[in-house]
Amino acid sequence: MRKSWDDYFMDIAKEVATRATCDRKLVGCVLVKEKYIIATGYNGSVSGLEHCDEAGHMMVNGHCERTSHAEANAIVQAAKHGVSTDGATAYITASPCWGCFKLLASSGIKRIVFGEFYRDERIFDSAKKLGIELVDHSEKK
């Protein structure tokens, strides 16, 4: 039987997460529009700077600040290459933190499919108010 599109793109997001360079949480994000991948991102340092797996973690208030999150990196990749994210779907191995949710919403993402729940309940109420569909893909496996 053929995989659903959600299963297909979530599997790709899991593969993207294997490139992550902060071992505290390996996260991958795939931005998709009209069933085509427009950008990917994983949690890692600013391009050209040392990564956690090279230099260690930069911990501030219990969070590693050396890395940018997968969602932010995917949005930046799309912007860098002049690709519109308006109306796209984000496939993420973990639900977005509040900051990344705001970036996704502001960049025009209309659907977020996530693998596991990660920390922030605010995304649910805000997504409903904004008309963003949230899909918990962890229940599908």
Is 71 catalytic? The answer is yes
Marked catalytic residue, from 71, 116, 121, 139: 71
User: Whole-angstrom Cα distance, residue 64 to residue 12?
Assistant: 25
Q: Distance between CA atoms of 116 and 105, rounded to whole angstroms? A: 19
Contact 120, 101 (CB under 8 A): yes
Alpha helices in 18-115 (DSSP H): 52-55, 70-80, 98-106
Sign of CA dihedral 42, 43, 49, 50: negative
Q: Which residues are catalytic?
A: 71
